[in-house]
Structure 1
Amino acid sequence: MENGGADKATIDIALPYYGDVALMQAAVSSVRAQTDPRWRLYVVDDGKEPGVPEWFAGLDDPRISYERNEVNLGITANYLKCLAMAEAERVTILGCDDVLLPEYVATIHRLHAQHPGADMIQPGVEIIDGDGTSVDPFVDRMKRRMFAPELRGTRVMGGEELATTLLRGNWTYFPSISWRTEAIRAAGFDARFVVTQDLDAMVRLIASGGEMVVDDTVVFQYRRHASSASSTQAVSGKRFAEERAFFESAAARMTELGWEKAAKAARRHVSSRVYALTMVPAAVKHGDTTGVRTLARHVLG
Structure 2
Amino acid sequence: MVGTIDIMLPHYGDTALMQLAVRSVLAQTDPDWRLTVVDDGQEEGVPQWFAALGDDRVRYQRNERNLGITGNFRKCVELVEAEYFTMLGSDDLLLPNYVATLRAAITARPKAAMYQPGVQVIDENGAVCSSLVDEVKRRLYAPRTDGRRTLSGEDLAANLLAGNWLYFPSIAWRSDIVKEVNFREDLSVIQDLALVVELIRRGEELVVDPAVCFQYRRHSGSLSASEAGTGKRFAEARRFFLETAETMQAQGWPKAARAARRHLSMRLHALTMVPGALRKRQTSTVRTLLSYALGKNQHSTPTGP
TM-score range with shorter-chain normalisation? Answer: over 0.9
Match of 1:137 among 113, 125, 131: 131
Unmatched 5+ residue regions in structure 1?
A: 1-7
Match of 1:54 among 42, 48, 70: 48
CA contact under 8 A between 1:18 and 1:45: conserved in structure 2?
yes
What pairs up with 1:16-165 in 2 under 5 angstroms?
Answer: 16-165=10-159
Match of 1:269 in 2: 263
Unmatched 5+ residue regions in structure 2?
A: 296-305
CA-based RMSD of the aligned residues comes to 0.9
CA contact under 8 A between 2:94 and 2:215: conserved in structure 1?
yes
Kindly provide the amino acid, as one letter, of the partner of residue 141 in structure 1. E
What pairs up with 1:166-205 in 2 under 5 angstroms?
Answer: 166-205=160-199
Deviation of 1:151 (Å): 1.5
Deviation of 1:187 (Å): 1.1
CA contact under 8 A between 1:93 and 1:177: conserved in structure 2?
yes
Deviation of 1:191 (Å): 1.3
Deviation of 1:21 (Å): 0.6
Match of 2:291 in 1: 297
Kindly provide the amino acid, as one letter, of the partner of residue 156 in structure 2. L
Match of 2:9 among 12, 15, 26: 15
CA contact under 8 A between 2:4 and 2:32: conserved in structure 1?
yes
SS at match of 2:166: coil
CA–CA distance in structure 1, aligned partners of residues 234 and 29 of structure 2: 40
SS at match of 2:52: helix
CA–CA distance in structure 1, aligned partners of residues 43 and 111 of structure 2: 39
CA contact under 8 A between 2:21 and 2:91: conserved in structure 1?
yes
- The question of 1:216 aligning with 2:186 is answered no
The 4+ residue runs of structure 1 with deviation greater than 3 A are: none
CA–CA distance in structure 1, aligned partners of residues 227 and 75 of structure 2: 24
CA–CA distance in structure 1, aligned partners of residues 3 and 216 of structure 2: 24
Match of 1:3 in 2: none
CA–CA distance in structure 2, aligned partners of residues 92 and 104 of structure 1: 11
SS at match of 1:41: strand
TM (norm. structure 1) is: 0.96
Deviation of 1:273 (Å): 0.7
Aligned residues: 294
Match of 2:229 in 1: 235
Match of 1:286 in 2: 280
1:143/1:115 CA distance change after superposition, 3 Å: same
CA–CA distance in structure 2, aligned partners of residues 182 and 9 of structure 1: 15
Once the two structures are aligned, what percentage of the paired residues are identical? 55
CA–CA distance in structure 1, aligned partners of residues 212 and 279 of structure 2: 36
SS at match of 2:9: strand
CA–CA distance in structure 2, aligned partners of residues 117 and 195 of structure 1: 28
Deviation of 1:214 (Å): 0.5
CA–CA distance in structure 2, aligned partners of residues 131 and 196 of structure 1: 26
Deviation of 1:98 (Å): 0.2
